[in-house]
Amino acid sequence: MAVRARVRTVRAVLLAVGLCSITLSAQGLQRINPPGLSTPTTYSHIVRDGKTLYIAGQVGADAQGKVVGTGMVEQLEQVLTNLQIALKSQGADFSHVTKINIYVTDVDAFRAPDAAKVRAKYFGSNRPASTLVGVTRLASPEYKIEIEAIAVLP
């Protein structure tokens, strides 16, 4: 009988701890749209959960939504500038980026040496895990590239 009571007590404690951790995790999410980036109406640029940053796909448009150029290199520069703004708003930089997903309408243009130089300028030797996906079109037909990122703060 005493063993059954202990088992019930342990189960109740485990259930309570589990529910508390779920509640704390849900309460810890912050949805952030930092100054210097566009103000979306249907998503957040950053969702922060403790020390982890989930950064929405950044495109080659400035804070006013204007596409910066028609080429991959110009848009890549703007994408990484936007990503840098998002990171800095949370006290992070490119060394904190752990994973990126890159979507491009022209894989060859992205893999060209001039685009590689732009990427190296921002990431340097801090190379995150990376996935490159060629797509037929992004959210707007003018967009050539979109990069989403996950970063972990120290």
Q: Looking at residue 3, what is its pLDDT?
A: 57
pLDDT at 23: 43
pLDDT of residue 21: 44
Q: How many residues does the chain have?
A: 154
**Can you give the pLDDT at residue 143?**
98
Q: Look at the block and give the residue holding tokens 């079109």.
A: 137
Taking the chain (154 residues) in consecutive chunks of 10 residues, what is each chunk's mean pLDDT? 59 52 63 97 97 98 96 98 98 98 98 98 97 98 98 96
pLDDT of res. 22: 46
